[in-house]
Chain A
Amino acid sequence: MNPSSKPKGSFCGNLRRREFLHTAGAGFPALALAGLLSQDGFFGSVNAATAAANPLAVKPPMIPAKAKNVIFLFMYGGPSHIDTFDYKPGMYGMDGKTIDVKTFGRGGKRNQGRIVEPKWKFKQYGQCGKWVSDLFPHVGQCVDDIAFIHSMTADSPIHGSALLMMNCGSVISGKPSLGSWVNYGLGSANENLPGYVVMLDQSGGPISGAKNWTSGFMPAGYQGTVFRSHGEPILNLSNAAGMERTGQRMVIDSLNQLNQSHLAARPDNSNLAARIASYELAYRMQVSAPEAIDLNQESEETKRLYGIDQPQTEDFGRKCLLARRLVERGVRFIQIYSGGAHNDDNWDAHGDLEKNHTHHAGATDKAIAGLLQDLKRRGLLEETLVVWGGEFGRQPTAEYEKGTGRDHNAYGFTMWMAGGGVKGGVSVGATDELGSAAVENRYHVKHLHSTILTLLGLDPDGLSYFYGGLDQKLVGVEGADPIREVIG
């Protein structure tokens, strides 16, 4: 084989690609086992003969990094940009007017529609004077830390494929999700907690469920772990009924003894050692994960900041506060869903826009602002990138003959980012005067992904994983540039 034909992305000039090592059955011990596993390369020592180096070990960034962690606030269902952050003053007074406008949603492509004017008033906030609707009075207070991208576009206006696009970069499933790429590129800073955490809405998961946090063709160690904000945070974390922690320790101690004598006859097999160690890690995770979600350690003032004292904001506020605590503990990528299941259980306002958005914004506004403020005062915002948005936006026109419901819109919508090296008080790109399509500085989901990776110190065109004869990338083979206007 001609080594020069190897595309970039192969690691350390080794004979075998890292990817092939995993697929050759050599294991994926996602553990840092100092003293047990050799760290000095794949073939460097007898003991490490069959073991890859810990794939989740912290790796240095590929390019200078501004952010260390990401909190992705996923507004599932598609929030209406013109009712939240994309101010369209010209639309007031046009309610009910039928106009020519190209739209594409679940109802198909249309060339005409009845305008539903923005249902909330907008006010200016902050030094930058950003116009924000009355749905987000608390987030409004934070606009000087936020960069808005008003010219987002996506490939699909249908939930299933659009969610996959936003999470995994393709309308076809099977590709690893953004959080998997980040953990693959940077590793996990806390081995007692998962490096990639997903918190779902109480009403259920998003369409396609686990496909949204899958590691696709990468090993399962990179996939998102569903984390619950109440009770047992991770599946199987608690001991089975009747098992005391001391009793469990006895079982593990005896298990270790027996496994050690099994290992003694096979000292060169580091996978066996890794499995022994994984029981210790699991045992520690049983302490560290509940500790991470224990909000009793937080002051009342902090809880109020996130709206945890109010029934309306309690749930999302708790998840946002948890996200901060997880960031403090080194969790690399956290995604929180606002909305789950179908229809009005999420931002998918096809029927009554006012009722739907009042509900979902009301449940999240205070919590999101609290998160930004709390991160900032603790000095964490600088290294924590907060991303807000859904899989698409909504149309300026009504979906049905009657009512205020809007259909999906992937031609133009708004996402915003804060912290993690993002410029504050900035707005990039624009939709037309109705918000029906992005017309100025248009950006695709790929550019958003490219920006997130760049801020984390990962080269979007260089971060690749060899699979199916191709160096696969989150942003596709063609690559995509980051949105430079928002990078500070």
Chain B
Amino acid sequence: MIRPLSAFLFLLATSAWSAPADGPKFFAEKVYPILEAKCFECHGGKDKLRGGLRLTSSAGLRKGGDLGSAIDESHPENSLLLKMIAYADDEHQMPPKAKLPEAELSVLREWILLGAPYDPALEIAGNDHGGFAITTEQREHWAYRPLTSPPVPEKAGVHPIDAFLDAKLAEAGLSRNGPAPAEQLARRLHYNLTGLPPTLDEVRAFADQARRDGLSKAVAAKVDTLLASPAYGEHWARHWLDLVRYAETNGFERDNPKPHIWRFRDYVVDAFNADLPYDRFVIEQLAGDEIPEPTQTSLTATGFHHLMQWDDEPADREQHRYDVLADNVQITAETFLATTLGCARCHDHKADPISQRDYYSFMAFFHGVTPYRTEGSSVSWASAAERAAFVQAQAKRIADAEAKLAALDTALSAWLKQTGQLATNSQKPSIWIDDAQGAGAEWSYTTEPPSPDWYETSFRPTTWSKGRSGFGTPGTPGAVVHTEWRTKDLWMVTSFGLNAMPEDLSLRLHHDEDVEVYLNGTEIYRAKGYLTEYTTIVLGETALKALQTGRNTLAVHCLQRGGGQYIDVSLRSGDGGFASLADAMKRAGEGLRKGAKQRFGRDIVKERKDLVAAIDRIRKEVPGVPLNAVQETSANPAPLHVHLRGSAHALGAPVVPGFPAVLASLDGSEPVPVAAESVNRKGVVSSGRRLALARWIANSNNPLTARVMVNRIWQHHFGRGIVPSSNDFGQLGESPTHPELLDYLASEFIATGWSVKAMHRLILSSAAAQMSSAGTEEGLARDPANDLFWRANMRRLTAEEIRDSILAVTGTLNAARTGGPWVFPPLPAEVLATASRPGAVWPVSPDPADHVRRSLYIHVKRSLRHPFLADFDQADTDSPCAVRFATTVPTQALAMLNSGFTNEQAALLGERLRKEQPDLAHQVRAAFYLVTQRDPAEADERVATALLHRLQTEGGLDEKQALNRLALLALNLNEFVYLD
């Protein structure tokens, strides 16, 4: 169809410059000046080449840039370059600064239609890189080579780990440090395995056993005890949560919580405590819903895919969907494979052998995942029998509650009528969306099934029809029809602005039949069946929480199976006087409440309110445990294409799921495609792609998986990984300092059934793990960075360890309470003031016992970080953190000396000292050993006693205050926050 037209255009164009010989001249005189002035700065390639496109040569033009050839040789009128300069759409606009004037546009158009001839004399060729190919050197990069089982250097009676390390030390003429003092070692083991300090008694018992039975036996026993403690899982879960940038809110304007996501945190804690085999741990997180027999646990694990930031109102929905997917792709590749794929999203990876096709083939494994929603795509776990029993019980509970409500209503109505309180109509209601009995409202509506996110705030019903409410068939009882609706389903959306938050909220509605109502993406009402007249529904707290100042969206779906359709919804507050009982109850002021109390002898208004809320709650209950888990809805996800320049709007070649070539192929440079087996079980349809990926990762043949995990375990015992860049095993990362040791550990890991606890035991039974951290002249001279592990690395405690330890040594830590929903300890007002909703952002937990729980359980809110934890380098919530920073900045000193938290804790420690110790001398000693778990030296005691004296004589403090200061000092000791 296009051909004749193109031929016509071509004729038109060539009429002016008919002879090809004129081409170069035309280029030189007319075209070149435009290109030079408007295009070469970015596409001339002197300093840089934007978008990979070179316009200074014919070859460059024809080869094109990231978006493909700039010219279409067979249909010049379709050339990309023409589309670009014509500003065809948001994605195609060149030059970016401003559209070319019409005269210049027509010259370029004419030139392209001529076939874009160049004048060879004016051409400047570049040396642009060619296609993607993996070099032999890249293929033989250490991390991609198959795992080997290197022979352990032979040395009788020496632990294999020590043998590997000693071999290298000997080459450098160094020797390993002897064992650390038992007191230091006890602290190191306690912190590295549980993140908490030992007690002085535990340290002493350990030292005694070491003297009695030898250090190895004492360590083995200690390790067993600590690995069996629930605190072990809590501590090691935190390492894992850093990698997967665990957070409990979505970020952006509303920064809504991710419902139930704390169950994922508990899953990780439990997995470490139960020593879940690591291969299983990988598979459950990636594909716990696709495995043959999913369990509540395995579904919870898939919360892994829901931890990322998510914008409920993105400017570009399509792009954001892929930004989110890309985030998850990055986390998957870095966490399990220590491979940084991110850079291949826009271009072939410049240094690592990962192509853009590799990248999108990898992304395709995740393409079937249902996009995230405000409510977190909650899945609820229950067996069929449980489900049936639940539904029955729920119906009964609702019926019971409604019967009670009816009795109350009868009594209240009679009383209201009797006392004449229903007569007045003193107050004007606020009506944001009126119903058809009033002014009505304009809605966007459709009768075609809309996109699944139709009720989200981000959804814009641009293609829907518009109509005034109510919608339905004339003649339906009680209906006021302005817009006819005769089909089965109706979806409608409208929005309104709100300046101030109301105190109450109600729906006035009429529906025939089933209706569901969403406010800003949150379901606020759902009912089956039909009504015959307008009814007011007082909405509960869920609805009030969903309401926001600014723009609000109300979305309604009505389903009518048999005709006689009608739907009309109004949203309002302070509804029109005591027109009805419901209105009176909703706006029940002090007077009415007191009156009712007098009449009935109890707070009947509150009773009724509670009952209404209870019914609301029961209706919303679903059987089983609600989970924030991943779902797919189809065996065949939509096709995925390469996104040129990373733009979801610039599609390149289609891709299928596949493994990166360098990891999965012996010689090719193309991704290795995978035919995933789709899952089709009762109620569950899924592509099976993530399971295919998970099984490839959690496989002893994968060269990376075991190496990556043992390196992480090593890192948290030795202060750095054998590969220091533990999230980057690629060519831009660092090389292993002990490659044979790494392979030995990885092989052992697989051989013991991927047991993390067995790996701890193996590592901690080595003499290397028990070394002292003391410097030696030789070691400091030859290997100051300790690359050869001749001594233990000292480390500062992490943010969580510092806070938890303070609570532990003052005796206030609530370590017994484990798991469950996140908690909100109080925060300073100055920190709350940095939030855009200072009063609403951090509802302090009502139970003070929750304020002193381990830091792991503190709510992780993207836009508001706990100041003390943030000060001490807590991991960022948006990027994976494989190695914590350990910064030293003055604001930390300020927090340790001056914050309300440390001063309250110091006072508690002072209290503890006074209570437990008979006299000042004992109190001073205890201040030291409670914090450092060692008896103080005489000199230490002298300093402390002198301080107490000075504070009282020169500082004007009493004995109690002075002791509290000493307690504060103890919490500030370097020895407290640094481990040997």
Interface residues of chain A, those whose CB is within 8 Å of chain B, are 1-2, 5-7, 16, 20, 22-31, 43, 46, 49-50, 104, 106-109, 155-162, 171-174, 194, 200, 204-211, 214, 216-217, 219-221, 225-226, 228, 232, 234-244, 246-248, 250-252, 254-255, 257-259, 261-263, 265-269, 271-272, 274-276, 278-279, 281-282, 285-286, 340-344, 348, 350-351, 400, 410, 439-444, 461, 466-470, 477-479, 481
* B884 CB within 8 Å of chain A: yes
A282-B890, A442-B97 known; A46-B780 Cβ under 8 A: yes
**CB-nearest residue of chain A relative to B906?**
A240
Per-residue A-contact encoding for B320-344, CB less than 8 Å = 1, 0 else: 1001000100100010000011110
Q: Is the CB of A470 within 8 A of B795?
A: no
User: How many angstroms from the CA of A461 to the CA of B99 in the assembled complex?
Assistant: 25
Tell me how far the C-beta of B491 lies from the nearest C-beta in chain A, rounded to whole angstroms: 17
Tell me how far the C-beta of B474 lies from the nearest C-beta in chain A, rounded to whole angstroms: 28
Q: Is the CB of A275 within 8 A of B315?
A: no
Give chain B's interface secondary structure class: loop
Partner pick for A219 among B548, B885, B975, CB 8 A cutoff: B885
List the 7 closest A-B pairs by CB distance, nearest first.
A469-B340, A174-B878, A49-B784, A156-B315, A28-B887, A282-B893, A160-B252
* B383 CB within 8 Å of chain A: no
Q: Is the CB of B773 within 8 A of A266?
A: yes
User: How many angstroms from the CA of A216 to the CA of B251 in the assembled complex?
Assistant: 14
User: How many angstroms from the CA of A2 to the CA of B955 in the assembled complex?
Assistant: 62
**CB-nearest residue of chain A relative to B323?**
A172
A442-B96, A469-B730 known; A161-B252 Cβ under 8 A: yes
Q: Is the CB of B724 within 8 A of A343?
A: no
| Chain A residues within 8 Å of B775, by CB | 266-269
Partner pick for A216 among B876, B882, B884, B900, CB 8 A cutoff: B876
| Chain B residues within 8 Å of A109, by CB | 460, 462
Partner pick for A208 among B97, B255, B352, CB 8 A cutoff: B255
| Chain B residues within 8 Å of A269, by CB | 775, 794, 978
**CB-nearest residue of chain B relative to A29?**
B888
| Chain A residues within 8 Å of B955, by CB | 244, 246-247, 250
| Chain B residues within 8 Å of A271, by CB | 794, 796, 886, 888, 978
**CB-nearest residue of chain A relative to B251?**
A173
A24-B720, A27-B887, A209-B863 known; A240-B900 Cβ under 8 A: yes
Tell me how far the C-beta of A396 lies from the nearest C-beta in chain B, rounded to whole angstroms: 19
Partner pick for A240 among B549, B873, B883, B898, CB 8 A cutoff: B898
User: How many angstroms from the CA of A272 to the CA of B973 in the assembled complex?
Assistant: 10
| Chain B residues within 8 Å of A259, by CB | 973-975
Contact count band on B: 35 or more
Q: List 11 A-B contacts (CB under 8 A).
A: A2-B731, A30-B888, A107-B551, A160-B253, A220-B873, A225-B891, A226-B830, A251-B897, A251-B972, A267-B775, A279-B897
Assuming A226-B830, A470-B343, what are 9 further A-B pairs, CB within 8 angstroms?
A: A173-B252, A247-B965, A250-B951, A255-B973, A258-B943, A266-B773, A281-B893, A340-B836, A342-B548
User: How many angstroms from the CA of A194 to the CA of B833 in the assembled complex?
Assistant: 19
Q: Is the CB of A206 within 8 A of B836?
A: yes
Interface residues of chain B, those whose CB is within 8 Å of chain A, are 41, 48, 50-51, 96-99, 137, 251-253, 255, 309, 311, 313-316, 320, 323, 327, 330, 334, 340-343, 346-347, 349-352, 460, 462, 495, 497, 499, 548-551, 719-720, 724-725, 727-728, 730-735, 773-775, 780-781, 784-786, 793-796, 828, 830-831, 833-838, 862-865, 867, 870-871, 873, 876-880, 882-895, 897-900, 903, 937, 939-940, 943-944, 946-947, 950-951, 954-957, 961, 965, 968-969, 972-975, 977-978, 980
User: How many angstroms from the CA of A46 to the CA of B973 in the assembled complex?
Assistant: 24
**CB-nearest residue of chain B relative to A401?**
B442
| Chain A residues within 8 Å of B774, by CB | 265-266
Q: Is the CB of A248 within 8 A of B897?
A: yes
Tell me how far the C-beta of A183 lies from the nearest C-beta in chain B, rounded to whole angstroms: 12
| Chain B residues within 8 Å of A28, by CB | 885-889
Q: Is the CB of B794 within 8 A of A235?
A: no
Q: Is the CB of A158 within 8 A of B887?
A: no
**CB-nearest residue of chain B relative to A246?**
B955
Tell me how far the C-beta of B577 lies from the nearest C-beta in chain A, rounded to whole angstroms: 26
**CB-nearest residue of chain B relative to A159?**
B253
User: How many angstroms from the CA of A22 to the CA of B725 in the assembled complex?
Assistant: 11
**CB-nearest residue of chain B relative to A42?**
B785
Tell me how far the C-beta of B612 lies from the nearest C-beta in chain A, rounded to whole angstroms: 30
Q: Is the CB of B342 within 8 A of A214?
A: no
**CB-nearest residue of chain B relative to A22?**
B885
A25-B886, A30-B888, A439-B99 known; A217-B879 Cβ under 8 A: yes
A173-B862, A274-B888 known; A236-B895 Cβ under 8 A: yes
| Chain A residues within 8 Å of B351, by CB | 5, 7
Q: Is the CB of B863 within 8 A of A208?
A: yes
| Chain A residues within 8 Å of B720, by CB | 24-25
User: How many angstroms from the CA of A478 to the CA of B548 in the assembled complex?
Assistant: 38
Q: Is the CB of A23 within 8 A of B836?
A: no
Q: Is the CB of A341 within 8 A of B836?
A: yes
A24-B720, A219-B873, A275-B888 known; A251-B947 Cβ under 8 A: yes
Q: Is the CB of A461 within 8 A of B48?
A: yes
| Chain B residues within 8 Å of A279, by CB | 890, 893, 897, 972
**CB-nearest residue of chain A relative to B865?**
A210
| Chain B residues within 8 Å of A481, by CB | 41
User: How many angstroms from the CA of A108 to the CA of B863 in the assembled complex?
Assistant: 25
User: How many angstroms from the CA of A360 to the CA of B940 in the assembled complex?
Assistant: 58
Q: Is the CB of B947 within 8 A of A254?
A: yes
User: How many angstroms from the CA of A257 to the CA of B863 in the assembled complex?
Assistant: 40
Q: Is the CB of A251 within 8 A of B968?
A: yes
Q: Is the CB of A172 within 8 A of B253?
A: no
Tell me how far the C-beta of A166 lies from the nearest C-beta in chain B, rounded to whole angstroms: 13
Partner pick for A211 among B320, B862, B892, B893, CB 8 A cutoff: B862
Tell me how far the C-beta of A1 lies from the nearest C-beta in chain B, rounded to whole angstroms: 6
| Chain A residues within 8 Å of B890, by CB | 30-31, 278-279, 281-282, 285
Q: Is the CB of B834 within 8 A of A226?
A: yes
Tell me how far the C-beta of A246 lies from the nearest C-beta in chain B, rounded to whole angstroms: 6
Partner pick for B974 among A159, A275, A286, CB 8 A cutoff: A275
A7-B351, A235-B831, A282-B890 known; A246-B954 Cβ under 8 A: yes
| Chain A residues within 8 Å of B886, by CB | 25-28, 271
| Chain A residues within 8 Å of B352, by CB | 469
Q: Is the CB of B974 within 8 A of A263?
A: yes
**CB-nearest residue of chain B relative to A240?**
B903
Q: Is the CB of B836 within 8 A of A207?
A: yes
Q: Is the CB of A466 within 8 A of B732?
A: yes
User: How many angstroms from the CA of A300 to the CA of B535 in the assembled complex?
Assistant: 65
Tell me how far the C-beta of B95 lies from the nearest C-beta in chain A, rounded to whole angstroms: 9
Q: Is the CB of B974 within 8 A of A43?
A: no
Tell me how far the C-beta of A248 lies from the nearest C-beta in chain B, rounded to whole angstroms: 7
Partner pick for A25 among B251, B867, B880, B883, CB 8 A cutoff: B883
User: How many angstroms from the CA of A107 to the CA of B259 in the assembled complex?
Assistant: 27
Q: Is the CB of B885 within 8 A of A23?
A: yes
**CB-nearest residue of chain A relative to B137?**
A2
Q: Is the CB of B828 within 8 A of A235?
A: yes
| Chain B residues within 8 Å of A242, by CB | 961
A274-B888, A439-B98, A469-B352 known; A23-B883 Cβ under 8 A: yes
**CB-nearest residue of chain B relative to A31?**
B888
User: How many angstroms from the CA of A479 to the CA of B41 in the assembled complex?
Assistant: 13
User: How many angstroms from the CA of A157 to the CA of B253 in the assembled complex?
Assistant: 12
**CB-nearest residue of chain B relative to A1?**
B735
Partner pick for B898 among A2, A46, A239, CB 8 A cutoff: A239
Q: Is the CB of B951 within 8 A of A220?
A: no
User: How many angstroms from the CA of A410 to the CA of B550 in the assembled complex?
Assistant: 19
Q: Is the CB of B731 within 8 A of A205?
A: no
User: How many angstroms from the CA of A255 to the CA of B836 in the assembled complex?
Assistant: 39
| Chain A residues within 8 Å of B894, by CB | 234-237, 282, 285-286
Q: Is the CB of B888 within 8 A of A261?
A: no
**CB-nearest residue of chain B relative to A242?**
B961
| Chain B residues within 8 Å of A207, by CB | 252-253, 836, 863
Q: Is the CB of B885 within 8 A of A247?
A: no
